[in-house]
Structure 1
Amino acid sequence: MSTAIEWRRDLHAHPEVGFTEFRTASRVAGALADLGWEVVTGPDAMVAGERLGVPPEAVLDAAYQRAEAEGGDPRFLPAMRGGHTAVVATLKGPARGRAVGLRADMDALPILESSESGHRPTRDGFASRWSGTMHACGHDGHVGMAVELAQRLAADPPEASVTIFFQPAEEGGRGGRAMAPTGLVDGIDLFLAVHLGLSLPTGALTPSNDGLLANSKLRAVFHGRAAHASLAPQDGRNALLGAASATLALQGLTRVAGHQTRVAVGRISGGTSSNIVPDIAEVLLETRADDGAINADLEERARAMLTGAAQMHGLTVEVELIGSVTTARADLSAAEAVTAAGRAAGLRVVEPAADSAVASDDATALMRRVQAHGGAATYVGLGADLAGPHHTPGFDFDEAALAPGVDFLEQLIRT
């Protein structure tokens, strides 16, 4: 079994959501340090104040303790306490050589993985051991490819300097924006983020995807007043009713002609019992658009709807931005380099799948930072046949896609 598959399966069995990737990040840092890569971790690899949607301290502590008990690397864990789970590893080439940067995201999703016998991770014994959390987007494969690539390059160093940005909290658009301001990408000449799947078959490669949407993720908490639902309903202020009204209103948010836009409510919760007027309720939602200004307008109007729903029911509401993603466009030179390397590695170069053009990824924050400092960047789709769609309990990808993916990255670096 290849290194990429071994790592992929280990991480798939031990999934960690954004800013709790203590086991994953510490093991990555240890593995690359042992190979001779220069490793930066913890607060030095990300700007703490730029993180959005950081889990509560109790959640972070529990995840940290679990990582300690489940094979986290003790050399690197302490620097990561509190959710500082970024890792930046560099293998330096000649002083005047080209600098190549690669993004590998590490986080999983809050999804209960399928236990069906036909689901390969379940059948083959590497399904999630941590119920309610799952790698359902291919990030475990991204890390696996990056570690195998690091092994190859350490064994036979290239002329180029190579930096791998192991990014936390891609889901929700939180980790890239926290890593970009460190300046660790500022000297990169060629940067790419590679994503498995994206409706592309195994063996296919998309050199660029300029359709990634800007994204704002919001948490709205409605506050009302509890009361007996039968004896004194008039004394209550129903927070759940306000949240439900806001949810319905958001679905009717006017779209923008000529642009791709999305509005979605992913979770609504509140209340304690059928005979108690709920005094608190929470809504998690997002807006997306193919233009940053249009997304900002959608976000502003969504906030107004949340406030209006609260006022309508005599409530107050707190709205918090918990994730934010911008757009980015690929540089032609970067896409051309990817095309050449992909073909040399035996991959078939294709156009992006239509449905991948409405996704979002906060690698765009790193791409824009690289471009602002004179480098070229692109977002690459690497084909992998899927057993189930992204972000679903039955998600799984064809592991045969990993080896040619590593070959392609090595070819790109050595060209």
Structure 2
Amino acid sequence: MSLSETELISLRRKLHQIPEIGMEEHETQALLLQVIQAMPQKWLEIKTWKTAIMVHVSGQKHDYTIGYRTDIDALPVTEATGLPYASKHPGKMHACGHDIHMTVAIGILSYFAEHQPATDLTFIFQPAEENASGGKQLYDAGVLGDWLPNEIYGLHDNPQLPAGTIGCRQGTLFAGTCEIHAHFIGKSGHAAFPQAANDMVVAGAAFVTQIQTIVSRNVDPIQSGVVTLGHFAAGTTGNVIAGSAQIDGTIRALTQKNNLKIQQRVRKIAESIAAGFECRLELDLHQGGYYPVENNPQTTASFISYMKNTPEVDYQTTPPAMTGEDFGYLLAKIPGTMFWLGVDSPYSLHSEHLAPNEQAIQKGVSAMIGFILQRQTEIN
């Protein structure tokens, strides 16, 4: 039998207790494999890559493959929920709800392990969404091989939506992100003799100030972008001129074109600051696989139509968000759709208090099973 709601909630709580950072999800992988291997294996084939798991479900026809992806990693956050099934791993927590993501994926898979799908399905349990572009690593490694989907779907839980609500939109759902790491290197010296030093507090401050013009003067106001510098470290004490400054931040944009444009402006400004202050610059703009999550028009139209017209589904059209997700890299390679699953919590994603409403799990499972069945009839 397909896993029941009670069994799924129990699994979610087990997963919640063993959060692991990206590419270290060994205990998580072992538990997921145990559950998957307990399902009927007639139509299943399983393979692993590092801490990832791929499950191929053989359909009645083999000329098309629908993919479903879940992330499996956690965050370096100390849990403060007080739940009886709180994290057993100090300093680590499923504060982004990936335990919910995994459980929904397992629920969908358990159904199709019992009911042969019309077309092939590929389930991807992907590591390192939070910290190391696990989707990009997995795709670029070529490990999916013949299991590579023709289209792909995935969800992210949303604390602001009622439990079980499905949220989606055409176009960009999540922004693309890029890390900024700028190191300005000058010359330290005595505060009383500035002419003998090269002050990187002043250089860094100029960089911080000029960066603020990028979104206001280089990005179309109708479109959207964010440049935030959240870390500035320079100097050791008040009467010593700082010989270096480390500044770190992030870029967010709703299209890859704008993300690259903002990156170009950050680089140009940093290089100009370095030239003007006659200092050395070490600049790392790291995007990795965190492309904008741009939903495919065709798959998303089908998805939204099903969710809107299914009485059991509570559907909402949602605005784009500036959060990042490496599913964007997979969507740049494979047509597909990402959607929100409401989990009704007063706390935000990444909060140490996040406690998703588990009633969302079965609703998410049922909605996706129904959509996949409908989508297969459209394809065939």
TM (norm. structure 2) is 0.80
Find the partner of 1:392 among 351, 359, 362.
351
Paired residues in the alignment total: 360
1:162 aligns with 2:121: yes
Q: Which residue of 1 aligns with 2:227?
A: 263
Q: Which residue of 1 aligns with 2:272?
A: 308
Q: Tell me how far apart the structure 1 counterparts of residues 135 and 373 of structure 2 sit (CA, whole Å).
A: 26
Q: Which amino acid aligns with 1:100?
A: I
Deviates more, 1:274-283 or 1:294-303: 274-283
1:11 aligns with 2:15: yes
Find the partner of 1:180 among 120, 132, 139.
139
Q: Which residue of 2 aligns with 1:54?
A: none
The alpha carbon displacement at 1:184 in A equals 2.9
The alpha carbon displacement at 1:187 in A equals 4.7
Q: CA RMSD in A?
A: 3.3
Q: Tell me how far apart the structure 2 counterparts of residues 244 and 110 of structure 1 sit (CA, whole Å).
A: 30
Gaps of 5+ in 1: 43-79, 116-120, 372-376
Q: Tell me how far apart the structure 1 counterparts of residues 55 and 236 of structure 2 sit (CA, whole Å).
A: 47
Q: Tell me how far apart the structure 1 counterparts of residues 94 and 36 of structure 2 sit (CA, whole Å).
A: 22
Aligned positions of 1:370-389 closer than 5 A: 370-371=334-335, 377-389=336-348
1:321 aligns with 2:302: no
Q: Which residue of 2 aligns with 1:94?
A: 60
Q: Which residue of 2 aligns with 1:59?
A: none
Deviates more, 1:325-334 or 1:233-242: 233-242
SS of equivalent residue, structure 2 residue 95: coil
The alpha carbon displacement at 1:341 in A equals 5.9
Aligned pair in 2 of structure 1 residues 198, 309: CA closer, same or farther (>3 Å)?
farther
Find the partner of 1:152 among 92, 106, 111.
111
Deviates more, 1:211-220 or 1:383-392: 211-220
Q: Which residue of 2 aligns with 1:61?
A: none
The alpha carbon displacement at 1:272 in A equals 5.1
Q: Which residue of 1 aligns with 2:377?
A: none
Task: Considering fraction of residues, name the structure with more strand.
Answer: 2
Task: Give the conservation status (yes or no) of the 8 Å contact 1:223–1:316.
Answer: yes
The alpha carbon displacement at 1:378 in A equals 1.5
1:248 aligns with 2:221: no
The alpha carbon displacement at 1:347 in A equals 1.5
Aligned pair in 2 of structure 1 residues 248, 139: CA closer, same or farther (>3 Å)?
farther
The alpha carbon displacement at 1:195 in A equals 1.4
Q: Tell me how far apart the structure 1 counterparts of residues 307 and 269 of structure 2 sit (CA, whole Å).
A: 48
Q: Which amino acid aligns with 2:32?
A: V
Task: Give the conservation status (yes or no) of the 8 Å contact 1:136–1:393.
Answer: yes
Task: Give the conservation status (yes or no) of the 8 Å contact 1:207–1:336.
Answer: no
Q: Which amino acid aligns with 1:292?
A: Q
Aligned pair in 2 of structure 1 residues 338, 256: CA closer, same or farther (>3 Å)?
closer
Task: Give the conservation status (yes or no) of the 8 Å contact 2:60–2:116.
Answer: no
Deviates more, 1:174-183 or 1:137-146: 174-183
Find the partner of 1:340 among 306, 322, 337.
306
Task: Give the conservation status (yes or no) of the 8 Å contact 1:239–1:279.
Answer: yes
The alpha carbon displacement at 1:104 in A equals 0.6
The alpha carbon displacement at 1:143 in A equals 1.0
Q: Tell me how far apart the structure 1 counterparts of residues 274 and 249 of structure 2 sit (CA, whole Å).
A: 16
Q: Which amino acid aligns with 2:16?
A: H
Larger CA Rg, structure 1 vs 2: 2
The alpha carbon displacement at 1:388 in A equals 0.7
Q: Which amino acid aligns with 2:101?
A: H
Same amino acid, percent of matched pairs? 23
Q: Which residue of 1 aligns with 2:250?
A: 286
SS of equivalent residue, structure 1 residue 350: strand
Task: Give the conservation status (yes or no) of the 8 Å contact 2:233–2:247.
Answer: yes
Task: Give the conservation status (yes or no) of the 8 Å contact 2:160–2:342.
Answer: yes
Task: Give the conservation status (yes or no) of the 8 Å contact 1:170–1:176.
Answer: yes
Q: Tell me how far apart the structure 2 counterparts of residues 244 and 8 of structure 1 sit (CA, whole Å).
A: 46
SS of equivalent residue, structure 1 residue 407: helix
SS of equivalent residue, structure 2 residue 138: helix
Q: Tell me how far apart the structure 1 counterparts of residues 195 and 26 of structure 2 sit (CA, whole Å).
A: 48
Task: Give the conservation status (yes or no) of the 8 Å contact 2:20–2:73.
Answer: yes
1:38 aligns with 2:38: no
1:362 aligns with 2:323: no
Q: Tell me how far apart the structure 2 counterparts of residues 336 and 178 of structure 1 sit (CA, whole Å).
A: 29
**Residues 85-111 of structure 1 deviation map (CA, whole Å, 9 limit, x = unaligned):** 433221222243652211112233344
Q: Tell me how far apart the structure 2 counterparts of residues 328 and 260 of structure 1 sit (CA, whole Å).
A: 14
Q: Which residue of 2 aligns with 1:68?
A: none
1:192 aligns with 2:153: yes
Task: Give the conservation status (yes or no) of the 8 Å contact 1:194–1:380.
Answer: yes
Q: Which amino acid aligns with 2:342?
A: G
Q: Which residue of 1 aligns with 2:165?
A: 204
Q: Which residue of 1 aligns with 2:378?
A: none
Task: Give the conservation status (yes or no) of the 8 Å contact 1:173–1:325.
Answer: no
Task: Give the conservation status (yes or no) of the 8 Å contact 1:15–1:134.
Answer: yes
The alpha carbon displacement at 1:259 in A equals 0.8
Q: Which amino acid aligns with 2:341?
A: L
Q: Which amino acid aligns with 1:38?
A: E
Q: Which residue of 1 aligns with 2:364?
A: 405
Q: Tell me how far apart the structure 1 counterparts of residues 89 and 148 of structure 2 sit (CA, whole Å).
A: 39
The alpha carbon displacement at 1:296 in A equals 1.1
Q: Tell me how far apart the structure 1 counterparts of residues 373 and 162 of structure 2 sit (CA, whole Å).
A: 26
1:122 aligns with 2:79: no
